[in-house]
Structures are given as structure tokens and as C-alpha cells.
Chain A
């Protein structure tokens, strides 16, 4: 029997009827139509399906849509604003951190979740924060440099304000 749920996705409320066995990843992609969230392993081991739920990065393939009822969800599509790409997105583009792009949504959201709670992470902290997101193309180097550059940028911006 379907259940009526409410998901707040990228600031917008969505009321949907879902089956209990539908995952959040499937509902985001197939019902809402936001396909930036990818499905890789579908068992929580690759991080391609990462979304930020109530401020925490999680593997949406292992969250039932009914469990996400009433929660606030941020997908990759929610990072760009009318002012342009999020600094993390821009850094990934500028530094060549994207090859096939499949891990990118998850990587950027894990990085955003990190920078939201720790704006000056050192490299070991960055590596740990993205350790649930696998990349088969890049070897991670450019990804880590992109995240470092944004944290440095955040530092410089706050210095210039004072």
C-alpha cells in the first residue's frame, strides 16, 4: 500500500505517494526527475548516490523514501544558484577533477558537508571525508586539490572581510 510522504528537496516541498520498498535514490531520480544523484553499487559502498539529508551526507540507496519523510534533502542540483555554480562545483571544473563525472555529484556533496562543519580541513581530514566516495577515473588527486582550493578560498574571503 502506498504512503503519502513529504520531501523537502533543494528548498522545495514535494508531496508524493510512494511504496515502502522505494529507496530515496529511486524516488529522487524517477519520481522527482533529478538525475544528478547517480546509482552505482546500490548497496552503500560507492557513494555515487550521496545526498545531504538533514545536514548529513548519506547513501540514498540505503534510505527508504518513507524514512526520508519530513526531512530536508540537498542534491547536487541544489548547489547551483542564480549567481552561478557553487565554489566546489567551479573548482572541480577548473582543476580537472571530473573525468567521467559519475562520482562527481557524491564527491562534491561529501565535500560540502565537510566544509559546512570544518572550513579549514587539512588533507587527512579531506581524505577521510570523501572516503565513502569511490572514483575509478581520476586517482583522487585533483578532487582533493579542488576541495583544498575551496577551503583556502573560504579562508581568504573571511580574511578580506576583517
Chain B
């Protein structure tokens, strides 16, 4: 399968990359791991004339945990996310998401920035990032702006990134004490798979009476973008954790979803699985919170 022809730019510093994007006047397309972009180009779905590789920009490859905020460079790969001690220790649901992304071969190439900008409704990194309240930094030659991941997706394949912008970092605040999180993915296969349904949750327990102080429930692959499940979250607030509560929250989450019928599964089955996965993820997050 041939790739269409394009001009290729390989900046080694971020300001250089922004300048190139500026000069190309909206015709420049950033390239990180290429596991989404190059596939779409091979399938003739898109043919950008100018690719601006971010792969040689060192500052985009780090995971920095100083100052109480986790700053992940956009070119950090899924494999690096699974291997990072600070992410496994403090942001376990993100490590779980990264571990379930495609295959070990793709995980060595695919980047967190690319997974976000591709904006696929079944993508594996957004659910945990939304559960943890993460933000992305979008940069062009004149300014930086931050957007919560929760607001970043417009529709399948569409994000808020501007045509001259580069997604540079993902920022996460340290999770609160007595908090727990989990990510569960359901696919027809156990690996090398696009989610049928995925759920990420983040709950914070009240230090006095152990009730749920705050909760975020994120659903993937059951709407045009990743979504929160507001009625499930509302049901959990102020309540003591229990299997019965988690089951009810699961039922509520299914009402917040709008899955489609496709060759992987029916909408009805997906709605049922939202109930099951939400209940299981809440249970996992609760155990996680008790250990913290």
C-alpha cells in the first residue's frame, strides 16, 4: 500500500515546529507515532501535503511529576505510559488504558497526543484521562491554551485542535487522598481490539464517614464521543459504597449512553454491558480507594 507523496519536516525544538506550522498556513499536519495518521493515508482517507514530525522534539517525550502536577509530553508512547512508575502508582486507570491499547507493537509507536487528536469514540486513553480531570495544552506560534480533555472531542475523528496548533502536553492533578480509579474495556477479542464498551471511574471517599464525596463516570464507545454519565454520578454522591449502589449506578449509566448497532455488537448488548462494566469499575475503584 503506497503512501501519497508529501513534504516532510523534522523540527528538533517546539518553537521551530510552531514556526513551520505557521509558515504552512493550516496546510501542515503534525505527525507523532503515525499509527493512526499513516493508516488513514494508506487507506486514501486523507492526503496531507505536508507532515510536520514531532518525533525528534525531546521536550515532548518526558513524564514530569514535579510540582504536584503530572505533565506528560504528547509524544510519550502508550508503552512508556504502562512502564512509568509514577503513572502505575498514582494514575493506575491510565496505565490500564494504555495497556489495553491495540498490540505491544503498536504501543511502542502510538502516542498519547495522537490518541487524543485522533478523537476516535472508542479510544483507550481518553476515559481515564477524563476520569482524572486531565487537560491538554494546545500551542501555536502566538499562544498556548488549555482545554479539559472532557471538552476536547467534538465528534468521531474531530477535536477542538486548530489547524495550526500542536497538542504539546497532557496535565493531570495528583489524585486526592482516599480516591480510587479503574478502567475496564470490553472487546470481542482480549487484545488488538477496538472497544465494544469501555468505562472509567474515579471516586473520592469522605474521610469522616466513607461515603462517596465525588465521582466521575466516563463511558467510551457508546456515543459519538467519550461522555460522562451524569445521572450515574449524581446517584453516587453522598452514598455509602455498596454492590447494590454500584449496580443502580450502572443502570443509570446505561441511560446516559447512546450506542449504535454495528458488526461488533448491537446497541442493546452495549447498553447492557455499560451496566455491567460500570458496576465492576466502581467496585474496583472502591477497593483502590480503600488501599490509598
Asked if B34 and A129 make an inter-chain contact with CB atoms under 8 angstroms apart, the answer reads no
The residue that A19 contacts in the complex, of B5, B34, B35, with Cβ under 8 A, is B5
What is the 8 Å Cβ interface bit string for chain B, positions 42-55, against chain A (1 contact, 0 not)?
11000000010101
Given contacts A21-B4, A42-B42, A43-B39, contact A128 B104 (CB under 8 A): yes
The residue that A20 contacts in the complex, of B6, B103, B108, B191, with Cβ under 8 A, is B6
Asked if B192 and A56 make an inter-chain contact with CB atoms under 8 angstroms apart, the answer reads no
In the complex, what residue of chain A is closest to B79 when comparing beta carbons? Answer: A56
In the complex, what residue of chain B is closest to A21 when comparing beta carbons? Answer: B3
Asked if A21 and B5 make an inter-chain contact with CB atoms under 8 angstroms apart, the answer reads yes
Given contacts A20-B8, A21-B3, A43-B39, contact A58 B105 (CB under 8 A): yes
Cβ of B1 within 8 Å of any chain A Cβ, yes or no, is yes
- Which parts of B25-67 form the interface with A (CB within 8 Å)? 33-35, 38-39, 42-43, 51, 53, 55
Contacts of A47 in B (CB 8 A): 103, 105
What CA separation (Å) do A39 and B79 show in the bound complex?
Answer: 23
Contacts of A98 in B (CB 8 A): none
Query: Closest Cβ of chain A: how far from B108's Cβ, in Å?
Result: 4
Interface band, chain A:
20 to 34
What CA separation (Å) do A1 and B5 show in the bound complex?
Answer: 10
In the complex, what residue of chain B is closest to A53 when comparing beta carbons? Answer: B108
Asked if A59 and B109 make an inter-chain contact with CB atoms under 8 angstroms apart, the answer reads yes
Interface hit among A30-38, A61-69, A80-88, A144-152: A61-69
In the complex, what residue of chain B is closest to A3 when comparing beta carbons? Answer: B8
In the complex, what residue of chain A is closest to B7 when comparing beta carbons? Answer: A20
- Which parts of B91-137 form the interface with A (CB within 8 Å)? 102-106, 108-109
In the complex, what residue of chain B is closest to A114 when comparing beta carbons? Answer: B104
The residue that B2 contacts in the complex, of A21, A43, A133, with Cβ under 8 A, is A21
Given contacts A20-B6, A131-B192, contact A67 B104 (CB under 8 A): no
What CA separation (Å) do A57 and B53 show in the bound complex?
Answer: 21
Asked if A58 and B109 make an inter-chain contact with CB atoms under 8 angstroms apart, the answer reads yes
What CA separation (Å) do A3 and B8 show in the bound complex?
Answer: 9
Given contacts A62-B38, A66-B8, A131-B191, contact A44 B1 (CB under 8 A): no
Given contacts A20-B6, A56-B79, A132-B103, contact A62 B191 (CB under 8 A): no
Contacts of A128 in B (CB 8 A): 104, 191
Asked if A131 and B104 make an inter-chain contact with CB atoms under 8 angstroms apart, the answer reads yes
What CA separation (Å) do A101 and B192 show in the bound complex?
Answer: 21
Asked if B42 and A45 make an inter-chain contact with CB atoms under 8 angstroms apart, the answer reads no
Contacts of A19 in B (CB 8 A): 5
Query: Closest Cβ of chain A: how far from B109's Cβ, in Å?
Result: 5
Additional A-B contact list (4), CB under 8 Å, known A59-B109, A62-B33: A21-B2, A57-B104, A62-B39, A64-B34
A-B contact pairs, 22 of them (CB 8 A): A19-B5, A23-B38, A42-B1, A44-B102, A44-B105, A44-B106, A45-B103, A57-B104, A58-B109, A59-B106, A62-B34, A62-B35, A62-B38, A63-B109, A64-B8, A67-B53, A110-B105, A129-B104, A131-B103, A132-B104, A132-B192, A134-B192
A interface list, Cβ under 8 A from B: 1, 3, 19-23, 42-45, 47, 50, 56-59, 62-64, 66-67, 110, 128-129, 131-134
B interface list, Cβ under 8 A from A: 1-8, 10, 33-35, 38-39, 42-43, 51, 53, 55, 79, 102-106, 108-109, 191-192
